[in-house]
């Protein structure tokens, strides 16, 4: 893929029509409009620091392994090992968050079209169908993935424009700027407005993740040392602008706040569309959102499968010989694709009994993938004399930008391990820390059992990796 295709995959994975939409209901209760709008601005600024730090390291080490390979080169085998496991957890959490959100929106559309009741069990069935669809699309090779991602960029930009335009001009009533930028709502059960504001940042931080997809697809990108880094930064910048416009458009168009939160469709944006545009308009805009979410989930499946492939190629996963196999005709790691969607299916199982599970799924994405970004940036700072910048670099600002990025990631990682609803019960428990502990424990056990012997990252990311890639074609 070319430079635009590489940018397109990260832009598609960030997907403001996925992250902003699927967590909009969470935002309505956890801080309300004020936290959603100002939180989006603040988190976007901090993510630009993280993205710039990651882009600089990616320019120096453009490989499918991406973060774990970079960590291994800068810090040693154990750094690469644990960075890879964290990155993998985050990528799998991202597939689960994106595709389960798409299942919820599909259920809302079916509710408006056919009177479908979107129960937890029915939503899970839709979710599994979407996972199977994305697995199938990814079996056809990177060329199809690249084409779909390129279409996705224009679909997202046009979709945001259509949604915001319709919500701006059709309804006769709009909320005031004071409401959109100043209304604070707390229905979490926690009494501290500061705590609620902080956990309300999840909407923005979850949406702004997955831009490492540009790095994971770098071995399939021309001029990757520049294209992948630019892809990361452009994806963040365009998403920041589009997401702000989208959130503002939705919030200005709220007709009845309480009814929007308690909607029978299961997703508050659907109720906003319904109240503002009527049934026909709501169904049309929901289709725009659902298709965008399907593009997003497909791109994330591609990125996660490349991570599984690369990590297995270097002997890091149980059954690595199976997951690193590449199909002779398409060049696709088919087994890695199925492993990625299968693990994502398991992550969403708690949603069958817990109404808070979706927030936990999105938290898994944040506390898995974002620390893996920070570890790489931290090692670049710690070993700055060893680090040899690529053609895309921050020059003398690298250490300053990296330090800000690491501090921010440490903060949000702790933040999204905290309980989000009070009182804490089995139904409201944030199980994201459990998933984090489980993956780190598995990584530790597998390191001691086999990883020390089997994990072998090549000295550089081009010749060594390519040699083993050729050997595993089946």
The answer to whether the CB of 308 falls within 8 A of the CB of 64 is no
Residue 223 has phi, psi (to 5 degrees) of: 50, 50
429: left (phi over 0), alpha (psi -120 to 50) or beta: beta
Q: What is the signed CA dihedral for 71, 77, 78, 80, rounded to 10 degrees? A: 30
pLDDT averaged over every residue in the chain: 88
Kind plus residue range of the DSSP H or E element containing 30: strand 30-31
At residue 319, the 3 state secondary structure works out as coil
How far is it, in rounded angstroms, from Cα 68 to Cα 66? 6
Task: Show the CA angle centred on residue 211, arms to residues 206 and 214, nearest 5°.
Answer: 160
At residue 326, the 3 state secondary structure works out as strand
Using the 8-state DSSP alphabet, how is residue 173 labeled? -
Is there a contact between 312 and 324 (Cβ–Cβ < 8 Å)?
Answer: yes
Respond yes or no on whether the N-terminal peptide bond of residue 6 is cis (omega within 30° of 0): no
Q: Cα(first)–Cα(last) distance of the chain, in Å?
A: 23
> What are the pLDDT digits (tens) for 317-372?
888 888 888 866 766 788 999 999 999 999 899 888 877 778 778 888 888 889 99
Nearest to 60 by CA among 411, 391, 441, 449: 391
Domain ranges of the chain: 3-471
User: What pLDDT score does 28 carry?
Assistant: 96
Per residue in 264-315, pLDDT (tens digit) is: 888 999 999 999 999 999 999 999 999 999 999 998 898 889 889 888 988 8
Helix axes 32-60, 398-415, angle to 10 degrees: 130
pTM of structure = 0.86
CATH architecture assigned to 3-471: Up-down Bundle (1.20)
Say how far apart CA 91 and CA 364 lie, in whole Å: 9
Q: Is 185 helix (H, G, I), strand (E, B) or coil?
A: strand
């Amino acid at each position: 893929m070319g430079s635009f295709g590489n940018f397109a995959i990260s832009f598609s994975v960030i997907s403001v029509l996925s992250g902003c939409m699927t967590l909009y209901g969470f935002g309505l209760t956890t801080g309300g409009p004020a936290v959603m709008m100002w939180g989006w601005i603040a988190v976007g600024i901090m993510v630009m620091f993280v993205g710039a730090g990651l882009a600089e390291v990616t320019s120096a080490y453009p490989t499918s392994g991406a973060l774990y390979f970079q960590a291994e080169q800068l810090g040693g085998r154990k750094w690469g090992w644990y960075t890879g496991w964290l990155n993998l957890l985050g990528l799998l959490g991202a597939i689960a968050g994106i595709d389960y959100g798409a299942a919820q929106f599909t259920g809302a559309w079916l509710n408006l079209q056919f009177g479908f009741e979107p129960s937890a069990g029915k939503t899970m069935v839709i979710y599994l169908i979407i996972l199977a669809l994305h697995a199938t699309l990814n079996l056809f090779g990177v060329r199809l993935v690249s084409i779909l991602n390129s279409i996705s960029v224009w679909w997202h930009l046009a979709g945001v424009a259509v949604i915001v335009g319709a919500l701006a001009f059709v309804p006769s009533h709009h909320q005031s700027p004071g409401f959109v930028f100043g209304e604070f709502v707390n229905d979490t059960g926690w009494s501290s407005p500061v705590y609620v504001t902080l956990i309300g940042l999840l909407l923005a931080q979850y949406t702004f993740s997955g831009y490492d997809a540009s790095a994971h697809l770098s071995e399939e990108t021309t001029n990757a040392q520049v294209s992948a880094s630019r892809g990361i930064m452009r994806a963040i910048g365009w998403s920041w602008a589009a997401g702000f416009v989208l959130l503002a458009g939705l919030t200005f168009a709220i007709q009845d706040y309480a009814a929007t939160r308690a909607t029978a469709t299961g997703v508050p944006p659907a109720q906003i569309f319904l109240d503002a545009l009527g049934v026909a308009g709501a169904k049309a805009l929901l289709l725009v959102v659902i298709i965008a979410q399907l593009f997003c989930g497909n791109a994330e499946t591609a990125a996660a499968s490349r991570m599984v492939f690369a990590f297995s190629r270097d002997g890091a996963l149980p059954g690595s010989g199976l997951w690193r196999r590449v199909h002779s005709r398409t060049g696709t790691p088919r087994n890695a694709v199925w492993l990625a969607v299968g693990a994502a299916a398991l992550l969403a199982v708690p949603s069958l009994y817990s109404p808070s599970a979706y927030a936990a799924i999105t938290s898994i994405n944040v506390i898995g993938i974002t620390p893996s970004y920070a570890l790489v940036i931290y090692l670049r700072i710690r070993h700055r004399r060893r680090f040899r910048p690529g053609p895309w670099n921050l020059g003398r600002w690298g250490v300053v930008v990296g330090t800000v990025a690491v501090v921010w990631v440490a903060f949000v990682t702790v933040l999204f391990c905290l309980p989000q609803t009070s009182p804490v019960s089995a139904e409201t428990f944030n199980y994201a820390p459990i998933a984090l502990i489980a993956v780190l424990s598995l990584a530790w056990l597998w390191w001691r059992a086999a990883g020390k012997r089997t994990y072998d990252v090549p000295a550089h990311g081009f010749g060594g990796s390519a040699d083993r890639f050729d050997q595993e074609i089946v």
